Amino acid sequence: MSLELYFHPLASFCQKALIAFYENGTPFAPHIVDLGDAVSSAEFKKIWPIGKFPVLRDTAKDRTIPESSIIIEYLDLHYPGRARLVPADAELAWQTRLRDRFYDFYVHEPMQKAVTDRLRPAGKNDPHGVAQARALLTTAYGMIEQEMGSKTWAMGDAFSMADCAAAPALFYAKLVVPFGDTHKNVAAYFARLMGRPSFARAVEEARPYFALFPRG
C-alpha cells in the first residue's frame, strides 16, 4: 500500500479528504496525528512543516501531497476509482473547483475561525473577527439556499469534490450558525450529505472524539 494519510478523524478538512477515499474505496494506511501531543506533532511537522492536515504521502512516487483539494485531485489523477470527483470535462472541472473554493473559503474557514476562537487563551479572543465570520457564514448560507433549490449535489446530479468540501464544513458550521427555517434547502442538502455512505462513515469515525469539540 503506497498511500499514507496523516489526519485526525475529528478534523473537518481531514474528513473532506476521507470522503474522497471512501467514495472510491481507495486503500490507504492511516496515520492519526495528535497535534496536542508534542511527539506526534513534531513527527508530523517533519513531513509537512506547515503543520496542517490532511497530508498524503505516496511512498511509491516519493511525494508529499498537502491540502485537501490537492489530495482529491491527486487521487483522481493517479489512483482513479469508479467515481471521478473532479469531472474530466474542463468546463465542469472549473465549476467544481469554484464550488470547492466557495465551501472552503466562505463556509469552512469562517466556521474554523469561530470554533478555534473558543480554544484561545482567556483575553486573547477576537470577538470582532468571530462576528465577521458568522456574518460571512450567513451570507454563504443565503447563496447555498438559492443554489441548492434545484440540485441534488453541488454540481447537480454527480457527487463531486465540491460535496466533499461542503459536507464537513456544513456539519460544523451549523453548530456555529444553525440553518434555521430560512435555510430549508441548505438543511435538505446537508441531510443528503449526511446520508451519503462516505460521509456517514467519516462522521462515525469522528464520533469517539466528539467530546474534544469546543462547544460555545
Ligand X SMILES: N[C@@H](CCC(=O)N[C@@H](CS)C(=O)NCC(=O)O)C(=O)O
Please, which residue, 72 or 183, has the CB nearer to ligand X? 72
**H or E element: which one contains 84?**
none
Please, which residue, 42 or 184, has the CB nearer to ligand X? 42
Residue in this structure with the C-alpha cell 469531472, named with its chain if needed: 87
Distance of alpha carbon 77 from alpha carbon 57, whole angstroms: 15
Please, which residue, 51 or 197, has the CB nearer to ligand X? 51
For residue 203, give the C-alpha cell: 462522521
Please, which residue, 48 or 141, has the CB nearer to ligand X? 48
Buried b / exposed e across 56-81, counting CB within 10 Å, b at 16+?
bbbeeeeeebebbbebbbbbbeebee
CB of 130 to ligand X, least distance (A): 16
CB of 178 to ligand X, least distance (A): 21
**H or E element: which one contains 108?**
none
CB of 151 to ligand X, least distance (A): 23
CA end-to-end span of the chain: 41
CB of 184 to ligand X, least distance (A): 28
Please, which residue, 48 or 159, has the CB nearer to ligand X? 48
Chain positions contacting ligand X, by CB under 6 A: 11-14, 35, 51-54, 67-69
CB of 170 to ligand X, least distance (A): 14
Please, which residue, 161 or 186, has the CB nearer to ligand X? 161
CB of 10 to ligand X, least distance (A): 8
Closest Cα partner for 24 from 3, 52, 54, 8? 3
**H or E element: which one contains 55?**
strand 55-58
CB contact at 8 A, 154 and 163: yes
